[in-house]
């Protein structure tokens, strides 16, 4: 399997896992706190969907405007972006399962389109992400690593949601093997 095919499969599996996560959480729980002290479960779910178009913009910037992106991606602008991101993800009672599905599907389709159009030589292009911007991406970030971040971003936030709703000591769907990419 080539790089593009592998990334496409990873993003498709993540998409399936997002749908499994939505299926497992009643909308009534969206207003409950998540393991992230700033956001409810609905806010985190909404943030996951907002992440996809943001990643797509970052992919384009690394591929086509690397110097400009690196210039503006510093601690000050990173803090500003994070300051804007926090309230933008908060949708309160406006988060519904259907809106989340629609947003995720649109973001996923956009990323798949970006992947199809990506040239092989673009996968190695990179910039340095400051830790204050996205701690999981701190350091050298290639286009390939950013495509992999779709899964990591979901996994981090899925864990915040699961730990908030799972009784202490209970298994997560991944541990039970009910997720699409769980080992058999």
pLDDT by residue, tens only, the chain of 184 residues: 899 999 999 999 999 999 999 999 999 999 999 988 888 999 999 999 999 999 999 999 898 887 776 666 655 555 555 555 555 555 555 789 999 999 999 999 999 999 999 999 999 999 888 777 677 888 899 999 999 999 999 999 999 999 998 765 555 444 444 444 433 3
**Cα 176 from Cα 59, distance rounded (Å):** 34
**Cα 177 from Cα 79, distance rounded (Å):** 38
Six-digit token string for 93: 């009672």
**Cα 1 from Cα 9, distance rounded (Å):** 10
Q: Within 10 Å of residue 64's Cβ, how many Cβ atoms?
A: 11
Predicted TM-score (pTM) of the model is 0.81
């Amino acid at each position: 399997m080539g790089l593009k095919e592998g990334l496409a499969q990873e993003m498709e599996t993540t998409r399936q896992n997002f749908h499994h996560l939505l299926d497992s959480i009643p909308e009534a729980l969206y207003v409950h706190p998540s393991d992230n002290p700033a956001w409810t479960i609905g806010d985190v779910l909404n943030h996951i969907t907002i992440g996809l178009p943001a990643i797509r913009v970052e992919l384009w910037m690394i591929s086509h405007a690397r110097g400009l992106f690196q210039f503006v991606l510093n601690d000050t602008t990173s803090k500003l972006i994070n300051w804007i991101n926090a309230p933008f993800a908060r949708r309160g009672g406006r988060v519904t399962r259907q809106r989340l599905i629609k947003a995720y599907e649109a973001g996923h389709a956009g990323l798949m389109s970006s992947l199809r159009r990506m040239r092989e030589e673009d996968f190695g292009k990179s910039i340095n992400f400051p830790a204050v911007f996205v701690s999981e991406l701190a350091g050298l970030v290639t286009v390939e690593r950013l495509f992999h971040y779709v899964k990591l971003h979901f996994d981090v936030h899925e864990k915040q949601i699961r730990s908030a709703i799972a009784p202490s000591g209970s298994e997560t769907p991944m541990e039970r093997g009910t997720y699409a990419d769980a080992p058999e």
